[in-house]
Chain A
């Protein structure tokens, strides 16, 4: 029988974080206290609800630790799980970078070649510029995830990635002038 398992650690961690929130974060990051007295009128302040939520979290943490105490086998995050999340986050990060910067980089390149004076912002509503980031970033994400699952890079994964981004352009962008695909709402 193990006294200290992952549930006990989770419970104690939750209690610690909730206490930090109650005594440091909430008082430091709310403009009014638990109760506000203004011109003789008493009302609930902005700190009360979050404090109540974190007090509930303390109770939850104690219960988790109590329920987990003495249990041999509890579900928990393994190192393999964390590695997978890390890998996934890295793919997502690269995909977002491609979405955000491919269009401006291409326009910058064309600018260097002297073909246009316009910025990406000026061209973001025109084809092909407005699709450049979405196609590269979206295709990268789908292709790499498929390759991750299948443990090999394949032309099929690339074609599926391209087909999905093309389909999404047809669904979201072609029929609706008011919808913006990434990154055109940010640039």
Chain B
């Protein structure tokens, strides 16, 4: 226990005594807390702008952050601080245009429009925004607390009980689960995974001649992580957005501008007590869903809202505003659920090295670019007297998340309410701008036009995926996990003396493989039926 407390203290010190941003009156001001604050404000602004999303801001910020802080382990916490701030801020900010203009800022705030916008239209926009912010921050904080407790235990259990064959089986289970639960077709989920794996195997391998390159030297080190991720996730989304605007202009569609009543209003007496049970239930649902890799916050929001509506229908009093017509409980149920996903999503990242959503992918990308921190079970080695620097970084990340929550509780709401103006930025300006910013960010990292071509190629692939209803996240996650999977399998195969049945030696790995098969068969079928 003393060791744990010691590491928690070292994590806090790493944040407050780490990389100084500047000195003020002879006192060094640490970079990491300032970066959390900057990231949070950026995230709220990005979330409040329809067409932008947290991962886009992360993609653009990463090369700038790395240029500022360099490639040393000292850079890890300031860079993570900014990215975590964006992650938290974007979740809160997405509610702003959903409530004020009936335009979801992020996909997971679609359900917020159902009650948030009617409440705003009824002349209570400030009340709706305050309920959204309170619920969102409560859900996020609860989820973070679960992360702080669960991630170390899970990692220690994995290290203690899982050997190389079991770890290989666990990676197979993760990939199968993601393929099964994302999208509405298990075939398309599996196709995304298979393509992600195949893409990751290009140019890698152990032989001196790189594999699957068609003799192209530029591919001898494989596709770069940055180009693939930004191409599929960001460029693909931008293409869809630009095409949507192009078609809308051909049809002469005008953006619906909902009336906005600027009347001053605020939380009503009894609002907190009224939304508390809904927030608690949705925070729990969001945390459970967030801890499972691949299941996004949109499902959490939908589930939280549906269960909230059922409860409201059964227990609501006469005279209560029904769900869908501006019920405060509806806003609370949605916002608490989708925000509770973000912290829990880091449980599989930090404890197993398995990313669960796009924001987690960018944290792994940052760790991979900077070096000195490899998310996975080995992080949580409580070594003594030698200090495990990766564990200090992990507790530093927990500290940064706590700072983010405190900032979100204190001034996040005020900043969020001021961001309504960003929803007015026209899409025809925004999307081409974001495209050029993303391409420039990639070029300054890779300094090669080849990287731009690769990115654009994967952008078109991301576009085709979206148009054909093939989920993109399984592709990205399979791409990230492919090399650890192959490496683990190689080592397990060698360690068992070349036994081709190494995955079926222990009861644990057999159970994990059976779970992988069952997830594709049963979860996939449920998805298809729904």
> Is A98 positioned at the interface, with any CB of B under 8 Å from its CB?
no
Interface pair A29/B449, CB less than 8 Å apart: no
**Which chain A residues border B206 with CB–CB below 8 Å?**
32, 46
Interface pair B187/A63, CB less than 8 Å apart: yes
Q: How far is the CA of A157 from the CA of B207 in the complex (A)?
A: 51
**Which chain A residues border B187 with CB–CB below 8 Å?**
11, 60-67
Known A57-B191, A60-B190, A96-B452: A31·B431 in contact at CB below 8 Å = no
> Is A50 positioned at the interface, with any CB of B under 8 Å from its CB?
yes
> Is B201 positioned at the interface, with any CB of A under 8 Å from its CB?
yes
Q: How far is the CA of A134 from the CA of B452 in the complex (A)?
A: 14
Q: How far is the CA of A60 from the CA of B185 in the complex (A)?
A: 10
In the complex, residue of chain A having the shortest beta-carbon distance to the beta carbon of B70: A178
Interface pair A182/B443, CB less than 8 Å apart: yes
Known A67-B185, A146-B428, A181-B444: A88·B242 in contact at CB below 8 Å = yes
> Is A176 positioned at the interface, with any CB of B under 8 Å from its CB?
yes
Interface pair B209/A76, CB less than 8 Å apart: no
Within 8 A of A (CB), among B53-82: 63-64, 67-68
> Is A132 positioned at the interface, with any CB of B under 8 Å from its CB?
no
Among A66, A80, A172, residue most surrounded by chain B Cβ atoms (within 10 Å): A172
> Is B188 positioned at the interface, with any CB of A under 8 Å from its CB?
yes
**Which chain A residues border B452 with CB–CB below 8 Å?**
96, 182
Shortest Cβ distance from residue B195 to the other chain A in the assembled complex, whole angstroms: 7
**Which chain A residues border B201 with CB–CB below 8 Å?**
49-50, 53
**Which chain B residues border A164 with CB–CB below 8 Å?**
432-433, 436-437
> Is B208 positioned at the interface, with any CB of A under 8 Å from its CB?
yes
Q: Would you give the 0/1 interface string for B172-195, flagging 1 where the beta carbon is closer than 8 Å to chain A? A: 000000000000011110110111
Interface pair A31/B440, CB less than 8 Å apart: no
Q: How far is the CA of A184 from the CA of B437 in the complex (A)?
A: 17
> Is B212 positioned at the interface, with any CB of A under 8 Å from its CB?
yes
Mostly, the B contact residues are helix
Which of the residues A46, A134, A149, A160 comes within 8 Å of B249, measured between beta carbons? A149
> Is A148 positioned at the interface, with any CB of B under 8 Å from its CB?
yes
Q: How far is the CA of A6 from the CA of B486 in the complex (A)?
A: 33
> Is B506 positioned at the interface, with any CB of A under 8 Å from its CB?
no
Known A64-B185, A164-B437: A85·B207 in contact at CB below 8 Å = no
> Is A79 positioned at the interface, with any CB of B under 8 Å from its CB?
no
Q: How far is the CA of A186 from the CA of B195 in the complex (A)?
A: 30
User: Which of the 9-residue segments A104-112, A113-121, A137-145 touches chain B?
Assistant: A137-145
In the complex, residue of chain A having the shortest beta-carbon distance to the beta carbon of B201: A50
Interface pair A60/B449, CB less than 8 Å apart: no
> Is A128 positioned at the interface, with any CB of B under 8 Å from its CB?
no
**Which chain A residues border B439 with CB–CB below 8 Å?**
141
> Is A168 positioned at the interface, with any CB of B under 8 Å from its CB?
yes
Q: How far is the CA of A117 from the CA of B352 in the complex (A)?
A: 58
Which of the residues B435, B460, B463 comes within 8 Å of A145, measured between beta carbons? B435
Total contacts A-B at CB 8 Å = 202
Known A31-B207, A84-B246, A186-B448: A142·B198 in contact at CB below 8 Å = no
> Is B197 positioned at the interface, with any CB of A under 8 Å from its CB?
yes
Q: How far is the CA of A15 from the CA of B228 in the complex (A)?
A: 24
Interface pair B443/A14, CB less than 8 Å apart: no
Q: How far is the CA of A182 from the CA of B392 in the complex (A)?
A: 38
Interface pair B188/A142, CB less than 8 Å apart: no
Q: Would you give the 0/1 interface string for A64-97, flagging 1 where the beta carbon is closer than 8 Å to chain B? A: 1111000000111100110011001100100010
In the complex, residue of chain B having the shortest beta-carbon distance to the beta carbon of A142: B432
Interface pair B482/A49, CB less than 8 Å apart: yes
> Is A54 positioned at the interface, with any CB of B under 8 Å from its CB?
yes
Q: Would you give the 0/1 interface string for B248-284, flagging 1 where the beta carbon is closer than 8 Å to chain A? A: 0110000000000000000000000000000000000
Shortest Cβ distance from residue A151 to the other chain B in the assembled complex, whole angstroms: 5
**Which chain B residues border A80 with CB–CB below 8 Å?**
247
> Is A56 positioned at the interface, with any CB of B under 8 Å from its CB?
yes
> Is A42 positioned at the interface, with any CB of B under 8 Å from its CB?
yes
> Is B220 positioned at the interface, with any CB of A under 8 Å from its CB?
no
Which of the residues B188, B193, B448 comes within 8 Å of A56, measured between beta carbons? B193
Shortest Cβ distance from residue A155 to the other chain B in the assembled complex, whole angstroms: 14
> Is B161 positioned at the interface, with any CB of A under 8 Å from its CB?
no
**Which chain A residues border B469 with CB–CB below 8 Å?**
74-75
**Which chain A residues border B250 with CB–CB below 8 Å?**
151
In the complex, residue of chain A having the shortest beta-carbon distance to the beta carbon of B239: A88
Shortest Cβ distance from residue A51 to the other chain B in the assembled complex, whole angstroms: 10
**Which chain B residues border A145 with CB–CB below 8 Å?**
242, 431-432, 435
Interface pair B249/A150, CB less than 8 Å apart: yes
Interface pair B440/A151, CB less than 8 Å apart: no
Shortest Cβ distance from residue A187 to the other chain B in the assembled complex, whole angstroms: 10
Interface pair B528/A171, CB less than 8 Å apart: no
Shortest Cβ distance from residue A59 to the other chain B in the assembled complex, whole angstroms: 6
Q: How far is the CA of A150 from the CA of B486 in the complex (A)?
A: 48
Shortest Cβ distance from residue B256 to the other chain A in the assembled complex, whole angstroms: 18
Known A84-B246, A172-B444, A179-B444: A29·B212 in contact at CB below 8 Å = yes
Interface pair A50/B212, CB less than 8 Å apart: yes
> Is B214 positioned at the interface, with any CB of A under 8 Å from its CB?
yes
Within 8 A of B (CB), among A149-171: 149-151, 160-161, 164-165, 168, 171
**Which chain B residues border A19 with CB–CB below 8 Å?**
none
Give residues in A with beta carbon < 8 Å to B. Answer: 6, 10-11, 14, 18, 21, 25-26, 29-32, 35, 41-47, 49-50, 52-54, 56-57, 59-67, 74-77, 80-81, 84-85, 88-89, 92, 96, 99-100, 134, 138, 141-142, 145-146, 148-151, 160-161, 164-165, 168, 171-172, 176, 178-186
Q: What 7 new A-B contacts, CB under 8 Å, besides A57-B194, A171-B64?
A: A30-B212, A85-B460, A172-B63, A172-B64, A172-B440, A181-B444, A183-B449
Give residues in B with beta carbon < 8 Å to A. Answer: 63-64, 67-68, 185-188, 190-191, 193-195, 197-198, 201, 205-209, 211-214, 239, 242-243, 245-247, 249-250, 427-429, 431-433, 435-437, 439-441, 443-444, 446-449, 452-453, 456, 460, 463-464, 467-469, 482, 485-486, 489-490, 493-494, 497-498, 528
10 A-B pairs closest in CB distance: A185-B447, A63-B187, A42-B498, A31-B207, A64-B187, A46-B205, A145-B432, A60-B190, A53-B197, A60-B191
30 A–B pairs (Cβ distance < 8 Å), ordered by A = A31-B208, A31-B209, A32-B205, A42-B493, A44-B486, A46-B206, A46-B211, A53-B194, A53-B197, A53-B201, A53-B482, A54-B198, A57-B198, A60-B190, A60-B191, A61-B187, A63-B186, A64-B191, A75-B469, A77-B467, A81-B467, A88-B239, A142-B433, A145-B435, A150-B428, A168-B437, A178-B67, A179-B444, A181-B444, A185-B447
